[in-house]
Each structure stands twice: as C-alpha cells, then as structure tokens.
Amino acid sequence: FALERPQKLEKSGWMKLLLSSRNLHKLEEIRAILPATITVDPWESDVEIEESADTFEGNALIKAYAGWQQKGIPCLGEDSGLSVPALGGAPGVLSARFAREPRSDFANIQLLLKQMDGLHDRSAYFTTVLVLVMNGNEFCFEGRVDGRIATDIQGEMGFGYDPVFIPEGYDQTFAELGPSIKNHISHRARALSKLMAFLNAFSG
C-alpha cells in the first residue's frame, strides 16, 4: 500500500476517514460528534470480522486494520461496551452478545437486569476504544463515562444498554436524555475528542 496521510479534501483541514463497523448507531453518533470537516464513510466487511481479542483495544485494532488493509485509506475501528463492577466487569467486551445469539439489545438488557436483581452496587461504566490506522501505524483513543444501572427500562432513544444506563450527574437514562446530552458526555464523545485533538495536531 502507498503511504497515505488522512485524505484531505479540497479545502484545507478537511479529511475523510473510514469506519470499520456494522453498527449504524455508532456511525450516526460519530458523525454527529465530529465536526463537519471530518467525513466518515462506513465500511462493512463482506465477511464478518472475528473479534477474537479479549480487550476493547485488541478488537478495535482488528477492525481498524481490516478496513485499512481492504481500502487503503485511514480507517477507524471502534470497540465499546458496558462494564459492571458488581458482575466482575461483565458484560465488558462481550456486551454486544451478552445474551448470546440471536443478538438482541432487549435480551441483553433483560439478562443484565436479572443478574443485577437485588444487588446494592449498581455502578457501571461505558468504555470506547477507538483505533485509527493510517500509514500502517495505529493510534489509540479511549473514553469512559461512569454511571449506574436503572432498575427497569426507561426511554426509547439511543441503542444497546442506553435504556438502563443513568450517567453520573443525571437522573435519567441515556435513552431518555437523548443525543444532545449523550453525544456531549458519552464514552464515545470523550474518545472522539482525543482523536480530534490528535488530528488537529497532525494536520496543523
């Protein structure tokens, strides 16, 4: 592969990145959070990418390299999940398939609420690890948001565990608070702000 820089568009400061993900909610949030100067195109592999690592970082790396190798332009991989200390960190890297197949956000939430039934410590946090691969080099950005797990499902916005996650400083779930608040304080927003600082330094 030719060595590439982040792909600059005509106007200085504009760039184009690929997001190696099948999750359209992630794409939507990432696009909403990043400035309009950074365009993000989705890349879905024809074959399912095996997320074989046991860390967010390891899986984000696998996704980012897969896209970069296939398309040859700077590519983001994102791996994220919910960790509950009272459950020993579960669901963690297995968040997407906590309740196994078929993959279902609702089944995952039901299982989580069942496992947390009667637990006093309801603290939890979301983690996002974003890996950017360009020029064959990888750059890693992490974000975390702390909160607690509600006792029942509340709200309809967002995706995944949003209907049961109440971020610190709020009394409502991400699914009730909606994108204007979530995209400001979320794990994803925090990782993306580190990415933007890096890209600004890189292109400036």
Chain center to CA of 142: 10
Work out how close the CB of 50 gets to ligand ITT at its nearest, in angstroms, rounded to a whole number. Answer: 11
- Residue 79 is inside which H or E element, if any? strand 75-83
**Interacting residue ranges for ligand ITT, rule: CB under 6 A:** 21-23, 26, 51, 78-82, 95-96, 108, 126, 158-162, 186, 188
Work out how close the CB of 26 gets to ligand ITT at its nearest, in angstroms, rounded to a whole number. Answer: 6
Query: CA–CA separation, 153 vs 17, rounded Å?
Result: 35
| Catalytic residue IDs | 79
Look at the alpha carbons of 173, 82, 183, 189 in this order and tell me if their dihedral is positive or negative. Answer: positive
Chain center to CA of 188: 5
DSSP three-state, residue 167: strand
Q: Which residue is nearest to ligand ITT (CB)?
A: 160
Tokens 């600082």 sit at which residue? 197
| Residue number, 37 or 193, with CB nearest to ligand ITT | 193
Look at the alpha carbons of 90, 119, 106, 157 in this order and tell me if their dihedral is positive or negative. Answer: negative
Residues in the chain: 204
| Residue number, 10 or 101, with CB nearest to ligand ITT | 101
- Residue 15 is inside which H or E element, if any? strand 15-20
| Residue number, 73 or 174, with CB nearest to ligand ITT | 174
Query: CA–CA separation, 90 vs 174, rounded Å?
Result: 19
| Residue number, 74 or 158, with CB nearest to ligand ITT | 158
